[in-house]
Amino acid sequence: MTIYWNVNPEAADPQAIREAAGMLRAGQTVAFPTETVYGLGADARSSEAVQRIFTAKGRPSDNPLIVHIAHRSQLDELASSEDETVSRLIETFWPGPLTIVLPLKPGALSPLVTAGLDTVGVRMPDHPVALALLEAAGCPVAAPSANRSGRPSPTRAEHVREDLAGRIGGLVDGGPTGVGLESTVVAVAPGEVHVLRPGGVTSAQLREAVPGAAIIDAAGEAKPDEAPRSPGMKYTHYAPQGRMLIVQGTPEAAAARIRQELAAARAAGERTGVLAFTEDAPQFAGDADCIVEWGGRHDAFELARRLYDALRRFDEEGVDFIAAQHVPDEGLGEAIMNRLRKAAGNRIVHV
Ligand code: TXA
Ligand code: MG
């Protein structure tokens, strides 16, 4: 059985937070909103608690979890953060959507959290409900995104319910999340910041915060004979059940190619969908069985916020083929395209 709490995201009911925190302290799992996506939390010091996360999600045990804290002072118990670049990143972006991979202090956490690595990814979420819950729990909380493994990350409590009802201890419903994509994951080396996963904090923001360091894109796929830098990279994530094709080109050429691809899929007896900018959605009327209005072409924040909900819509509609519009790879567009490319299994055409 899963217990649900409905809270005001700005001023969460203290009683609900106390109950949810008590559940975490008792070694159970609790899903909660953050500014990026919903997380599925458990006491990061307890292997029994952390194992419940892996079991509920069906997550491979070699993919480490991010640890969430409410206060800077909690960091020193978990990880070494003396580096100057690390301090600067923390000052600039916490609380916020930046996860920093740091040397783990031995014995501080259940080894299940880090999948046996000697590093740990830590972040302080920028969400009143998450911070209140972490504060009340009083322990570091391991929390991956609160979806079944292989499903899009949840940006609404309903998504968590769809994937995990009955499999977790509790769910704090604090409404839709803000950013809509996961945190940026970085590892720091002397003079370098390696972006292991693009996310809510953009490369340009990192560059501005640490002008002396090189910002290195390390999110690419590892070569087959190499261990991936971030274990999460080797898993296919965020994939809808239908096959997706991204079409990149001028608006007119891309729209024409999308119509052509949809017609071909229909002719083959497939149920079709299109992920379309708000401005373009009307022109696809009649071309696809399911038109999902994504957001304004130039509004990267809206596109990020609505992407995962849109991907889930296609699954609900039982769509076999999805044509998606393309977003320029700049600013938040980097993270959007990183997720969209994964959803499409890298199927992309340039016209
Ligand atoms: O926004 C977010 O980061 C959300 C919310 C809930 O905080 N959490 C999240 O967690 O997206 P998850 O587990 O879905 O993704 C964690 C990513 C994975 O790609 C994992 O491989 C990487 O972070 N990661 C965690 N610890 C790491 C470590 N020690 N070294 C390298 N990568 C690590
Ligand atoms: Mg995830």
Ligand 1 nearest atom to the CA of residue 120, by list position:
29
Sheet containing strand 39-43, strands side by side: 3-6, 170-173, 30-32, 39-43, 141-142, 66-68, 119-123, 98-103, 184-189, 192-197, 214-217
Q: Tell me, yes or no, whether 288 and 141 share the same domain.
A: no
pLDDT at residue 235 is higher than 60: no
Q: Is the pLDDT at 150 greater than 90, yes or no?
A: no
Residue 182 covered by a domain: no
Residues belonging to the binding site for ATP are: 59, 63, 119, 145, 153, 197, 238
Taking only the tens place, the pLDDT of each residue in 273-308 is 999 999 999 999 999 999 999 999 999 999 999 999
**Per-residue pLDDT tens for 179-205?**
999 999 999 999 999 999 999 999 999
The closest residue, in CA terms, to atom 18 on ligand 1 is 232
Whole-number pLDDT of residue 239: 78
The residues near 22 (Cβ < 8 Å, ≥ 6 apart) are: none
309 lies in a domain?
yes
In what side-by-side order are the strands of the sheet with 348-350?
290-293, 272-276, 321-325, 243-248, 348-350
ipTM: 0.99
- Which of 162, 177, 192 is a domain's end point? 177
**Do 267 and 120 share a structural domain?**
no
Q: What angle do CA 181, 187, 193 make, to 5 degrees?
A: 95
20 and 137 in one domain?
A: yes
Q: Supply the pLDDT for residue 223.
A: 47
- Cβ neighbour number for residue 186 with a 10 Å cutoff: 29
Residue 223 lies in a domain: no
Please, are residues 188 and 83 in contact by the beta-carbon 8 Å criterion? yes
The protein residue whose alpha carbon is closest to atom 17 in ligand 1 is: 232
| 150: containing domain | 3-177
Identify the DSSP state of 71.
S
Q: How many domains does the chain have?
A: 2
CATH of residue 46's domain is 3.90.870.10
Average pLDDT over residues 86-107: 98
H/E run at residue 325: strand 321-325
Q: Indicate if ligand 1 lies below 6 Å from the C-beta of 120.
A: yes
Q: Are residues 143 and 262 located together in one domain of the fold? A: no
**169 and 46 within one domain:** yes
CATH number of 334's domain: 3.40.50.11030
Task: Tell me: do 53 and 161 sit in the same domain.
Answer: yes
Q: Do 56 and 153 share a structural domain?
A: yes
Give kind and range of the element (H or E) at residue 203: helix 203-209
Between CA 270 and CA 298 the distance in angstroms is 31
Q: Is residue 252 part of a domain?
A: yes
Confidence of residue 237 (pLDDT cuts 50, 70, 90): low
Write down which residue in 177, 209, 230 finishes a domain.
177
Question: How many CA atoms lie less than 13 Å away from 152 in the CB half-sphere?
Answer: 31
Same-domain status, 170 and 277: no
Q: Is residue 169 part of a domain?
A: yes
pLDDT band of 158, cuts 50, 70, 90? very high
Is 233 inside a domain boundary?
A: no
Residue in 32, 26, 30, 29 with CA at minimum distance from that of residue 12? 32
Q: 143 CB under 6 A from ligand 1?
A: yes
Report yes or no on 278 lying in a domain.
yes
Residue 147 near ligand 1, beta carbon < 6 Å: no
Q: Return the SS3 of 216.
A: strand
Q: Residues 171, 266: one domain? A: no
154 lies in the same domain as 27:
yes
Domain end: 154, 177, 200, which one? Answer: 177
State the Cα–Cα distance between residues 277 and 207, nearest whole angstrom: 30
Nearest to 177 by CA among 240, 121, 238, 126: 126
How many percent of the chain have pLDDT more than 90? 92
Q: Answer yes or no: do 164 and 290 share one domain.
A: no
Q: Quick one: DSSP state of residue 89?
A: H
Q: Are 306 and 333 in contact (CB under 8 A)?
A: no
Is 281:291 a contact under the CB 8 Å cutoff? yes
Residue 186 belongs to a domain: no
Residue 270 and residue 159 in one domain? no
